[in-house]
Amino acid sequence: MANKADLMMQYRTDGMEYALRIAKEQGIEALEKEVKTRMGTRISLRMTTDEINRATEAIKHMTLDTVSLMMVLTLHDELGFGAKRCKRFLDRFTLKTECLLEDYATWKDYQQIIRDELGFEMELRWN
């Protein structure tokens, strides 16, 4: 069984080999992007970028589904929205989400609209 120092050396070597492979195949810019992503997410080197992207997409979809469900439930329970109004809300919510995904709008745009039209701040906790 390897001791802690041997494991640390193996992890460092694996990381260096991984970085070298990215730099050779995709260039320094891709390596810089990879380092930034790994530092921000603390995701193990054992996961490939494709695996990370697939997992991230699944998390995004689940987050969207759970937030949508909670919003519709709240609109119905607390404000008395019926099926028609809840469906209309979901349609608009989906449209605004698609605008973000297609870069027609930004989170800052949406924050500014809320600030200007509703008079309060909504902050985002960026990772």
Other C-beta atoms lying within 10 Å of the C-beta of residue 44:
9
- The per-residue pLDDT for 18 is 84
Q: Tell me the C-alpha to C-alpha distance, in Å, between residue 50 and each of 7, 26, 53.
A: 26, 14, 5
pTM for the predicted model, two decimal places: 0.59
Cα gap 37→27, rounded to integer Å: 16
Report pLDDT digits (tens) over 39-50. 777 777 667 778
Alpha carbon distance 94, 62 (integer Å): 14
Quote the pLDDT of residue 127.
Answer: 62
Contact between 26 and 11 under an 8 Å Cβ cutoff? The reply is no
Report percent pLDDT > 90 for the chain.
54
**H helices then E strands: how many in the chain?**
5, 0
Model confidence at 1, in pLDDT bands (50, 70, 90)? low
Domain assignments of the chain as residue spans, ordered by start: 1-46, 49-127
